[in-house]
């Protein structure tokens, strides 16, 4: 039976996978099977990212278990939803850390939570692997314990701006949804713009994105980099006044272009969205497998973020498969000596245990209201 997104999260809450209702079923005998844990921030600020990411992760584990699990053992996938508070974050982490059946964590989302868990795991210096989180921040110091696979904002910005400079655009205006985003990204963007010889204008942070869009669209700036989430991008687009000439907005991988389209973001300007995974409609084998499995298990359209959740789970499963035994210590050891792997077209380049380069591509929401790619 296929499950729709709304049904999925009603089921997860009823089953006790949120911290608001502790997982009673985890106390029975079945809970002693091997488990992978996933913590997700489903607060208003991040639910658009997390819900798609979780759907992709669930798809992967259903597919893996249907094929016999890992070494003949079914893997229990436990999702802990939290509301963005430090208290729930810490409780979620302790719940997984202290559960002996949890042999790895993976797919922490969204970025802010992934940064916090990365720091916490490194500080505690335990043997619980933190695999393939949705970690977009390029400034976080990863000392140990976390094993990223996705491109950072810095790599995505580099990719997008390089493509724009190749077609003759030599100036850039940057809009931030918040002061926090400004502080986290401004130095990287300044450095990248300088390397690409782009004239840079970083806009002051404004609470009214509609008004800010009206102001910018009245100028001749050909390219706007928007640093923020999907609802904020939609608000910005709705304030955009169509004008002459070629104009583009570039958004990063936290933005779901399909959702932006459904929210009637406007059709006055094309939006280029960078992605940390292959285009979902591509012929790359991992994308083909994902589309087939998603159609089998869920009544949901494929998105870049759900594909990312799927890839996160498949990578984690592949590393578990190569461990000497399905124990926390053995799985951690395998991650600690990880090397470059190719997951059916999604290549994770690793050197001396550290991610060296990561996949980046892009798609576009056109002015006629289509997502291309």
| Any domain includes 362 | no
208, 180: one domain: yes
Structural domain contains residue 187: yes
Residues 72, 98: one domain?
Answer: yes
Instruction: Name the domain boundary from 275, 306, 328.
Output: 275
Q: Number of structural domains, the chain?
A: 2
- pLDDT score for 266: 55
Task: Report if residue 266 sits inside a domain.
Answer: yes
Q: Which pLDDT belongs to residue 328? A: 97
Tokens of 179: 């002061």
pLDDT for res 37:
98
Distances (CA, A) of 206 to 20, 45, 95, 213: 35, 17, 39, 10
The CA distance from 125 to 68, in Å, is 33
Which of 258, 275, 292 is a domain's end point? Answer: 275
Please indicate, yes or no, whether residues 216 and 172 belong to a single structural domain of this protein: yes
How far apart, in whole angstroms, are the C-alpha atoms of residue 80 and residue 252? 26
Whether 101 and 214 map to the same domain: the answer is no
Tokens of 151: 């491109």
One domain, residues 319 and 204: no
Same domain, 109 and 201: no
Find out whether 111 and 136 touch, Cβ atoms under 8 Å: yes
Whether residue 369 lies inside any domain: the answer is no
Please answer whether residues 113 and 85 qualify as being in contact, where contact means their C-beta atoms are separated by less than 8 angstroms.
no
Identify the sign of the CA torsion 141, 146, 148, 152. Answer: negative
Whether residue 218 sits in one domain with residue 182:
yes
Same domain assignment for residues 250 and 293: no
Domain identity same for 71 and 205:
no
Nearest to 307 by CA among 140, 132, 113: 132
125 lies in which domain range? 5-151+282-355
Instruction: For residues 316 and 288, state if they share a domain.
Output: yes
Query: Using an 8 Å Cβ cutoff, are 2 and 298 in contact?
Result: yes
Preceding peptide of 70 cis, ω within 30°: no
Determine the distance from the C-alpha atom of residue 1 to the mean position of all C-alpha atoms in its chain, rounded to a whole number: 27
DSSP H helical ranges for the chain: 5-14, 47-66, 86-97, 111-124, 153-166, 179-195, 209-217, 230-238, 257-262, 285-297, 304-321, 328-336
Label the pairing between strands 361-365 and 371-372: antiparallel
Question: And the tokens for 227?
Answer: 């640093």
Listed residues 234, 260, 275: the one ending a domain: 275
According to the model, what pLDDT value does residue 16 have? Answer: 40
In the structure encoding, which two tokens stand for residue 334, read together? Answer: 């395998």
Let me know the angle formed at the C-alpha of 244 by 243 and 246, rounded to the nearest 5 degrees: 105
Domain membership flag for residue 364: no
Report how far residue 226's alpha carbon sits from residue 212's, in angstroms, rounded to the nearest whole number: 12
Task: Check residue 265 and give its pLDDT.
Answer: 55
Identify the residue whose tokens are 């840079």.
Answer: 200
Q: What is the pLDDT of residue 246?
A: 65
Give the per-residue pLDDT at 2: 63
Whether residue 21 is contained in a domain is answered as: yes
pLDDT recorded at residue 366 = 79
Residue 99 in domain:
yes
Tokens 């795991």 locate to 121
Residue of 157, 173, 181, 150 whose CA lies nearest to 45: 181
- Please list, residue by residue across 342-366, b when 16 or more beta carbons sit within 10 angstroms of its beta carbon and e when fewer do: ebbbbebebeeeebeebbbbbbbbe
Q: Residue 1: CB partners within 8 Å, gap ≥ 6? A: none
- Distance between CA atoms of 17 and 250, rounded to whole angstroms? 35
pLDDT at 181: 84
At residue 3, the pLDDT reads: 56
Is residue 241, in this structure, part of any structural domain at all? Answer: yes
- CATH for 232: 3.40.50.2300
Q: Are residues 228 and 321 in the same domain?
A: no
Say yes or no: 36 and 136 in one domain: yes
pLDDT at residue 189, as a whole number: 86
Low-confidence residues in the chain, pLDDT < 70:
1-32, 243-246, 264-267, 373
Give tens-digit pLDDT for 288-327: 999 999 999 999 999 999 999 999 999 999 999 999 999 9
Q: What is the pLDDT of residue 27?
A: 40
């Amino acid at each position: 039976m296929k499950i729709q997104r709304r049904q999925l999260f009603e089921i997860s809450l009823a089953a006790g996978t949120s911290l608001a209702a502790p997982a009673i079923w985890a106390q029975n005998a079945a809970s002693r099977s091997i488990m992978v844990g996933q913590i997700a921030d489903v607060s208003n600020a991040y639910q658009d990212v997390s819900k798609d990411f979780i759907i992709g992760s669930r798809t992967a584990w259903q597919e893996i278990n249907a094929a016999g699990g890992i070494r003949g053992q079914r893997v229990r996938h436990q999702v802990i939803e939290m509301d963005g508070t430090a208290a729930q974050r810490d409780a979620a982490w302790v719940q997984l850390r202290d559960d002996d059946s949890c042999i790895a964590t993976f797919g922490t989302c969204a970025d802010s939570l992934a940064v916090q868990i990365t720091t916490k795991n490194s500080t505690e210096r335990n043997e619980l692997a933190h695999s393939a989180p949705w970690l977009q921040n390029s400034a976080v110091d990863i000392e140990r314990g976390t094993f990223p696979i996705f491109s950072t904002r810095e790599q995505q910005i580099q990719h997008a701006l390089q493509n724009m400079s190749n077609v003759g655009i030599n100036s850039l205006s940057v809009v931030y949804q918040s002061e926090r985003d400004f502080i986290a990204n401004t130095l990287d963007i300044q450095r990248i713009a300088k390397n690409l010889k782009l004239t840079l204008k970083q806009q002051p942070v404004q609470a009214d994105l509609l008004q800010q869009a009206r102001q910018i669209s009245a100028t001749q700036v050909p390219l706007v980099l928007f640093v923020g989430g999907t609802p904020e991008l939609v608000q910005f687009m709705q304030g955009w006044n169509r004008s002459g000439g070629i104009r583009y907005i570039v958004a990063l991988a936290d933005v779901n272009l399909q959702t932006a389209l459904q929210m009637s973001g406007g059709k006055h300007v094309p939006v280029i969205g960078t992605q940390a995974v292959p285009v979902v409609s591509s012929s790359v084998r991992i994308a083909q497998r994902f589309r087939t499995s998603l159609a089998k298990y869920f009544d949901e359209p494929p998105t870049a973020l759900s594909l990312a959740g799927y890839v996160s789970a498949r990578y984690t499963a592949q590393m578990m498969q190569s461990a000497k035994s399905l124990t926390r210590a053995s799985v951690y050891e395998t991650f600690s000596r990880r090397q470059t792997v190719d997951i059916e077209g999604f290549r994770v380049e690793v050197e001396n245990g550290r991610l060296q380069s990561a996949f980046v591509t892009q798609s576009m929401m056109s002015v006629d209201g289509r997502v291309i790619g």
